[in-house]
Amino acid sequence: MLRTAFTELVGCSIPIQQAGMGALANHDLAAAVANAGALGTVSVTGAPPDLIAKILDQCRALTRGVIGANFIVDPALVPDRASLPEAVDAAAARVKVVDFFHGWPEASLVDVAHKRGAVVSWQIGSSDEAVAAQEAGCDLIVAQGIEAGGHIRGKIGLLALLDEVLEAVTIPVIAAGGIGTGRAMAAALAAGAAAVRVGTRFIAAPESEAHPAYVSALIQAGAQDTVFTEAFSVGWPDAPGRVLRSSLQAAEAHEGDIVGERTGKYTGTKSQVRRFEIGVPTVRTTGAIEAMPHWAGESVGGVRRVQSAAEIVHELSSEAEDLLKRWG
Ligand SMILES: Cc1cc2nc3c(=O)[nH]c(=O)nc-3n(C[C@H](O)[C@H](O)[C@H](O)COP(=O)(O)O)c2cc1C
């Protein structure tokens, strides 16, 4: 077993954090990852405290493993800013790790989670932001390289960022972005990361409920098929991210402002999907799926088939462990 400062702090047996991933990081995926021995994460961005409590209780009912809750704190996604501390409190009362992204680290939010005994992590994109996260009281930092799938905070590659961040802070650092194989995981751990954060690989787990057309596009793609773009901006302007180029081209070619319809997993609410909207297509989305953002990191080459979340965790960790032993 790969024991690191992360596994010690968080209490799971495998140094993998499943990324917050909007609608895909639902309670079923997080529970499956946690049951496999890694840290499962439920995305609860923008949800009111009572819904957060309900979703996380559902997750807890499926696992005795280690789970976390992910909040994007950018004001574009959190219109009701005043209720954020209450939302964080509701999550922190139910999970081991409260994880933040896309907003300058805020000590007051960290304190809310700490009061409930949670471990706090903040995903950052620069060494200045890493220092700010440590100063705000965070226990863990997630360094996100520009190779990552989904929205991206930083501007440089993961290894260059890790180098800077590991020099700048003393708390454990999790490496994120482009890690889709055991080899990449081993390399990040060898470079000094205490764990890896993996997003794109878990999209192809049935538990994520990603739309099957999105999953097949990922299976067929390689790193060269991703593109860093701000084009998918409806709902969140000025926030770049990485998608499959094919989905960007399909959105550009789509005629009309509406590309489909979605139903919320937890709310049951139906809504139209607008062209260039940020929402990820799930099994509850209909319409021109190919023209919706196929968020994907350069790790997408590691997505070769549909695999359960447990298989993905075990494949990555056993390959990484073997390689690290071989490298001595
Ligand atoms: C579909 C998708 C949605 C994402 N949504 C979120 C999110 O809601 N919150 C968050 O902190 N990060 C989000 N991310 C970024 C991840 O936290 C992480 O940095 C990224 O997945 C790592 O790169 P990888 O995809 O190559 O593994 C998302 C990533 C993907 C692929």
121 lines ligand 1 (CB under 6 A): no
Residue 297 has what pLDDT?
98
Report pLDDT digits (tens) over 236-271: 999 999 999 999 999 999 999 999 999 999 999 999
295 lines ligand 1 (CB under 6 A): yes
Do 91 and 125 fall within a single domain? yes
179 lines ligand 1 (CB under 6 A): yes
Residue 55 has what pLDDT?
98
Q: Give the chain's length.
A: 328
Do 42 and 166 fall within a single domain? yes
Residue for token pair 């993996």: 198
150 lines ligand 1 (CB under 6 A): yes
Do 262 and 117 fall within a single domain? no
Residue 1 has what pLDDT?
73
Residue 128 has what pLDDT?
98
Do 94 and 172 fall within a single domain? yes
Q: The CATH number of the domain where 141 resides is what?
A: 3.20.20.70
Gap from CA of 101 to ligand 1 centroid (Å): 10
Residue 79 has what pLDDT?
83
User: What's this model's pTM, rounded to 2 decimal places?
Assistant: 0.98
Residue 80 has what pLDDT?
86
Residues of the chain with pLDDT under 50: none
For ligand 1, mutation pick of 44, 102, 151, 198 (most atoms within 8 Å of CB) = 151
Do 94 and 219 fall within a single domain? no
275 lines ligand 1 (CB under 6 A): no
Do 117 and 216 fall within a single domain? no
Do 151 and 284 fall within a single domain? no
Q: How many structural domains does the chain have?
A: 2
Do 294 and 149 fall within a single domain? no
Note down the domain range covering 274.
209-299
**Cβ proximity of 228 and 242 under 8 Å:** yes
